[in-house]
Amino acid sequence: MSDATTTDTGVETTIDTTVADIDTPTATETTAASGGDLEISRIDPVEEFVVLENAGSESLDLDGYVIDFGGIGQGYTFSPYELDPGESVRVYTGTGDSRNSVLYADFFYPVLDNDGDRVIVEAPDGEVVAGRSYS
Give the pLDDT band of residue 8 (cuts 50, 70, 90).
Answer: low
Q: What is the pLDDT of residue 94?
A: 97
Q: What is the pLDDT of residue 73?
A: 87
- Separation of alpha carbons 108 and 70, rounded Å: 16
- The CATH class given to the 23-134 domain equals mainly beta
Closest CA to 53 of 69, 36, 70: 36
CA 108 → CA 25, 48, 104, 122, distances in Å? 29, 12, 11, 23
Residue 5 has pLDDT above 60, yes or no: no
Q: Region 97-122: what's the mean pLDDT?
A: 95
Sign of the Cα pseudo-torsion (24, 25, 27, 30, in order): positive
Q: How do the domains of the chain map onto residue ranges?
A: 23-134
Residue 39 has pLDDT above 60, yes or no: yes
Residue 109 has pLDDT above 70, yes or no: yes
